Amino acid sequence: MPSRAGYLWGPLSALGLGIAAAACALDQALKLWLLFAYRLAEKGVVAVAPFVDFVLTWNTGISYGWFQQEGPLGQGALLALKTIAVALLWIWLARAGTRLTAAALGLIIGGALGNAIDRLAYGAVADFVLLHFETGAWRFNWYVFNLADVAIVAGVVLLLYESVLGTAPQKRPDPGDSGTFRG
């Protein structure tokens, strides 16, 4: 049975923690720059590329703007839910068996922490990337998102990749087996 420390720290935890810290730091640095140095709120919509704009939106809900929560009770509930999710992901990270799993979980944890910092600091998550596609008569807008969201999605994609297409762990040979068939 694993010790208590084994539930919270494993051989790949440092890798996951480093990736989580990097994802969270990059997310927060970009948000701080966009909010306070570039002053995105004052600029409105800024075209970055033909299909990408920067536009500041404040998400008081969860993914895709679902479950909008304006009051402190709702915001506290979302933070509590996020805290529980990060704790469970951390326990999973402590048991990660591959570097890819640890990296994926680090991305998810880092993204979740980056968005949690926004929720604590501003009462909402700062989103700013808008992907869109336009024709003469039609326009499609994706949900506005941020770098933390990209880290979370990348982590989930890596976990899916590993579970579906990753290599299966090799069975350890039996020390008494000479490699010949005895039937």
Beta bridge partners of 2: none
Cα-trace Rg, the chain: 21
Q: Which of 118, 127, 174, 177 does the annotation list as catalytic? A: 127
Q: What is the pLDDT of residues 119-159, one digit of tens each?
A: 899 988 999 999 999 888 888 888 899 999 999 999 999 99
Q: Which of 27, 118, 149, 177 does the annotation list as catalytic? A: 149
Residue 10 to residues 66, 92, 141, Cα–Cα distance (Å): 35, 9, 42
Q: Is 127 a catalytic residue?
A: yes
Q: Is 118 a catalytic residue?
A: no
**Is the separation of the CB atoms in 31 and 23 below 8 Å?**
no
Token pair in block for residue 47:
């075209």
| Alpha carbon distance, N-terminus to C-terminus of the chain | 36
Nearest to 127 by CA among 106, 141, 139: 141
Nearest to 32 by CA among 152, 142, 146, 130: 146
3-class DSSP state of 180: coil
Each residue's pLDDT, cut to its tens digit, for the chain (183 residues) gives 455 566 789 999 999 999 999 999 999 999 999 999 999 999 999 999 999 999 999 988 765 555 555 667 776 777 788 889 999 999 999 999 999 999 999 999 999 999 999 989 998 899 999 999 988 888 888 889 999 999 999 999 999 999 998 765 555 555 655 555 444
**Is the separation of the CB atoms in 92 and 59 below 8 Å?**
no
**Is the separation of the CB atoms in 165 and 37 below 8 Å?**
no
